[in-house]
Amino acid sequence: MKRSVEFLVHLFFWITFVALTWMLTQVYLEAVPDAPFSRHLGYVIFLELVMGLLFFYLTFFGFRWAGKRTGRLVSLVLVLLFLLAFFAYPAISHGIIPVMSSLIPHLLLVFLALVFRKYSDAQRMENEKKELLFQNTRSELMLLKIQLSPHFLFNTLNNIDFLVQQDARKASDSISKLGTILRYMIYDADTEKINLARELKHTEDYIELLRLRVLSPDYLIYNPPVLNKSFLVAPMLFLPLIENAFKHASTREGENVIRIEVKIEDHTLLFSVSNPFRDGDLQRSGEGGLGLQNVRRRLELIYPGAHTLSISDDGNVFVVNLKLVLDEDNLPGS
């Protein structure tokens, strides 16, 4: 329970307490008009409020202070019993009914304080569990991003190493594009979600980086979506899927070898990438290796119940289909 809500609950309780005390006192005065305190009603209600606050908060905070320490708990109970006896003692000379009238309201306040204490502690523990789960999830996402970046960099440097020996100009272009993508990874992608248009722009940059390694400009076909709205998406979800397709494609030449398609239907993103593969590639790579494992885990953490990732093959073509429910980006200027 938030502190502001807890404060309002306590405030409402004491307003109700004062109102009930006033009404019960009025009922008593109608039955006994010549009661000794009939001319000091305000003072009596104020005194009852002070006594009620004393019993309630001594119990409410005392039990948290005592915790599971037996010595402290015994001390708190003895203090409460002493106060109950102290306030009930003047009524002894008037009989058992006045004594009970003094004890029962205070015992009721002690009981209500225990109920409030238990509920408050339960809410606090629930909030702490949620915060711990959030921090663990955030730490795991950070770890997955850290794993993903070296994985991406390792594969890209292999591409550049290949180009250095084949075409120095293409190697230079690839280094420039790599710098652009790394800046994106370091500065732009350091968040849970990013604007979809920006993510797709950097995805296209990465596709161009891959195209530098092949001769045919149609080796990799990419169909970008038409964006009618601004959406948010987790950064770097598409890169490892494209990376995986390029790594395991059975040929490095030809046309329409890798096909990538992104569609937007209402608030749903549909991503598909396919590539041919050789027999045994999936077994050796563990169905995509680290890249796909990281994507799958990030989807579980960021899009629980709001995504579908399916991987299939017909013996010759490996297909990854990703379906995401997107959030609208309502930030001004996005």
Q: Is residue 19 part of a domain?
A: yes
What is the pTM for the complete model shown? 0.55
Residues 192 and 43 in one domain: no
Q: Helix or strand or coil: residue 260?
A: strand
Q: Is residue 295 part of a domain?
A: yes
Residues 311 and 177 in one domain: yes
CA distance 320 to 275: 9
Residues 263 and 320 in one domain: yes
Residues 171 and 304 in one domain: yes
Query: Looking at the DSSP assignment, which residues form a beta bridge with residue 307?
Result: 324
Q: Are 173 and 212 in contact (CB under 8 A)?
A: yes
Q: What percent of the chain has pLDDT over 70?
A: 75
At residue 300 the predicted structure's pLDDT band, cuts being 50, 70 and 90, is confident
Closest by alpha carbon to 260, among 326, 210, 308, 304?
Answer: 210
Residues 92 and 198 in one domain: no
Domain end call among 128, 150, 185: 128
Report the DSSP pairing between strands 268-276 and 307-313.
Answer: unpaired
Q: What is the pLDDT of residue 119?
A: 83
Domain of 45 in residue numbering reads as 3-128
Q: Tell me: the pLDDT tens digits for 74-117?
A: 888 888 888 878 777 766 766 676 667 667 777 888 888 888 88
For residue 132, count other CB atoms closer than 10 A to its CB.
10
Q: Tell me: the pLDDT tens digits for 170-203?
A: 788 888 888 887 787 777 767 778 899 988 988 8
Instruction: Please say if the pLDDT value at position 41 is more than 60.
Output: no
CATH number at residue 315: 3.30.565.10
Give phi and psi for 222, each to the nearest 5: -125, 125
Q: What is the pLDDT of residue 132?
A: 58
Residues 11 and 114 in one domain: yes
Q: What is the pLDDT of residue 285?
A: 47
Domain end call among 128, 145, 175: 128
Residues 73 and 189 in one domain: no
Domain count, the chain: 2
CA distance 235 to 246: 20
Residues 117 and 7 in one domain: yes
Q: Mean pLDDT across the stretch 123-131? A: 75
